[in-house]
Structure 1
């Protein structure tokens, strides 16, 4: 048995928001109360000065397995997630081969059984992520795919998007969309504006995102499919999602920590480590994203954890791949950039890390309750640290060297401690 004592428990589902102890036996929480007796307990975790919350759920990660395991694999990705307080991660389908078939899906799910946390998998929407022929969604759902996404690539064909939405509605599954029209992009990963001008490139304009968000928002209204707008970066895209919600669309939007934390200016400071799709935008876009997090237009914080090797990121910035790792810094950025400035409360932030992503995918996760699986994170919100090292295989983060608030002390998955702060 594990006893968590002296912690401040925040559980958005039950609205529990007070100092209580939590007793764990085997996989489940068995008691939540004040001053639980330590007798017969195998391990006591002193959570003084810490917040105790449900284990986090990331609906948007890339573990690069199979095909690109020099960047990350299921085990290193899971270890990085555990260090960040995550107990469930949903991985994207842009592996090699693409997860458009049962064999590749089986490989991932079987390997995931040996990971330190729960690793779930979406399948691609189209075969080979080519944007043309829709996969056998029914067969892949039955084989364990929790949703569908061509993340990394947009679906350009409106006809294909409609067909996919209609099929997803019938199967009651989530479609997640990467919204960037390549025909409007000269060089991806860097916002079209003053930073692109300084680098003597044209970059990627907001319009590339806006036009596809507008289309899919409109189609979501008519098809009534459940869709997720991934890694939203443009202020106008936020307003389009807000409008679609008012019109009755079953639409969700996710924001990454990088898009609410930093702007295009970071590219000149951190180089290719700040290159990401969609790109970091302007301060006005960042502020609009924060306002949307406040009013719940954006319901989910998702990392888009995208590892790349150091060698890949060290080349010419226009040639370097887009993407940054994020599982190990997501909580700290949310505390430092959202809670500390007074935009969101801890309850608000934890909700966007737990029950909201669980609700989107209909997972029985994201809450703390007697008799329920013990997926729990313990973190000290006031502890400062400098970002320096990672459990991920990769280190492509623009936050290296930054001082942030909020340190995960313990992560518990299915009643087992899967991460414990070395310090």
Structure 2
């Protein structure tokens, strides 16, 4: 019995020691977990290997590594037409930096107030505050070739390019390809396809209603920009084909722009305009009333017949290559040039439909009025915030 007593006592002593040892081990393990967690928590910056990557080919054929769809949360979108596409796809929350010109288009801010707080490191084409861009901490940047070349030279931020030097005759294909590229990047194919289908439907309607108009009866349209209204798009630009889509003729077709770039603008003389004598004039500054008072401008057919209109301004100015202008400018030009043939089309309704079905925002009647009757001073001269590279001056001579 005494032997059994000592054996039991010794066993209890051993167990107490084991418990003490186990407690020490447990405390050590807990301490290690806490320290590891604290160290990990101090570093919020992810390395390239932390985020799953995918290889992507942009519109210029450049291959770039960008995050997988579900890993994208911070993107610098550095031109206004491309900011529009982010709204089309419903991924505007991912914009961490943009172009300063976007601040001018307040209608988006009405529905998405955060836009007013998004940093804008890009002032205009190839004019970038690189430090501000870096501080916005984008996973990658999207923009024109000119802007992305600058980003490549000054940072290590991956860049995705939109095509700004495509054949101007492919303007509608380019707009659709642009939206579809964004749809692929952000996993929003359905919304991208919806835009493309809407654009196709608008072009089909215009073709059916205007293709029966004889060429010698088609309206000649002149789009004049700037304070003197003497900057325009020639026949080698994308605007030539948007005007033709409306069933109209470009009054300045004989003018060439620098290198025929998509957004290329040319200067003309008033003598050019008097010779062309357009049926419809669209301006972005001043007013039709001012033209009537001018002894020279008042000689023009469009001025005499009250066919001078202010360029609409929606999510962006309608005289630059954008998804909105591709869909709505030809339709608007058609209704102004052929009110009888297109009498069943209400631009008020079409604008509301576009903003609701494509952008997801419901416009009021006052919102529509602000688009169709903008203050001319906010329309700009047609050279700011576009897709880059297209503000050169033409020769004012006929096409060769």
Q: TM-score under structure 1 normalisation?
A: 0.25
Query: Which protein shows a greater Rg?
Result: 2
Which structure dedicates a bigger proportion of its chain to helix? 2
Which structure dedicates a bigger proportion of its chain to strand? 1
Higher relative contact order (CA 8 A, sep 6+): 1
